[in-house]
Structure 1
Amino acid sequence: MDVATRQNRHILGINAQYIDGYKIIIYTLGMVELRSRHTGENLKQEILNCLDQFKIEIRQIYSSTTDNGANVIKTSKLLQISQGQVQNNPNDDSDSNDVDDDGYDEVHNTLKSTMAVVRCAAHTLQLAAYDVIKTMQTNIESCRKAVKSLRCILRGTSNVPILDNATQLY
């Protein structure tokens, strides 16, 4: 799950990933427009509503991959709590007994512990790179000024240094 804001619209993206016949399948469950504050509780409710539309129960979720936003991490923790409450108070009319016994119960019970919350590695790496660039910003500006001065001095020669484009750094 991830929250994006563009042109004054706030969208919660929810994807499901599962294995079918030894293939990983990724399916977008919803791109939900958020009209309320992005609190952990509100996001949790939107996710549960989306899961309900696909008849996916919270007990079927094994992990949640999120960005590092405090509200999204809070959402995952709230979902963990909800899942723990469902697993500790199983519904008597659960349909888990209807599933053919092909090892499903053993795997499901092994993974049944509280859902894992995983922070997206790509997002974490992007934040780290951005922090490095931010700390180097003063040095980058000094280098740009030096290159501009050198370009004026060396104008007309073939050894003119190249001036970077600020948008190429990101």
Structure 2
Amino acid sequence: MDLPFLDLAREVIDLRSFSNLWYWIVLAVMWSTVSHWVLGVPYDMVQRANRGHERSTQDMAVLARVNVNRILTIVEVSGVWATAFAAFILTGLAVLGWIYNVEFCQAVFLLMFPMTLVGAWSVRTARKLRATGFQDVPRLLRYHRIGVQMLGVVFIFITAFWGMWVNVRVNPLGM
């Protein structure tokens, strides 16, 4: 049985994202990673610093300072362009996804949009850290992580609900 290349590619690469296991794995790994690395600082280091581990406290302070300066420099240099580009991409994905009903664009939008919110939140936390002179870094990183986790819960629910709706609507009862 000889399949033409495009038919073979379509069989291997399923663009029906919400019924694809890999999409849900990417979603879980993405949220897990974002909530573990708080402004570039691994959260286990923040916990050890909270318990009084001297080396972790020093490492956390250095990592926080380096990443805050890096984030804020990027925002100062190219923040407007990055925001405009992100808005362009997200708008295109939303229009293609919901106006033209392209499931792949809906799926990518539901991955990217919350990450832009996490990015904006990271900039806000970075500005707070710099404004306070990096006082009480563990507390601000903990609040940032809790906020990111709450955002994750909301968007995982929205994505799961929408994915189930699309799967039921496209293929009701597996028929």
Which structure shows the higher helix fraction? 2
What is the TM-score with the length of structure 1 in the denominator? 0.27
Which structure shows the higher strand fraction? 1
Q: Taking CA–CA contacts closer than 8 Å with sequence separation of 6 or more, which of the two structures ends up with the larger relative contact order?
A: 2
What is the TM-score with the length of structure 2 in the denominator? 0.26
- Greater gyration radius: 1
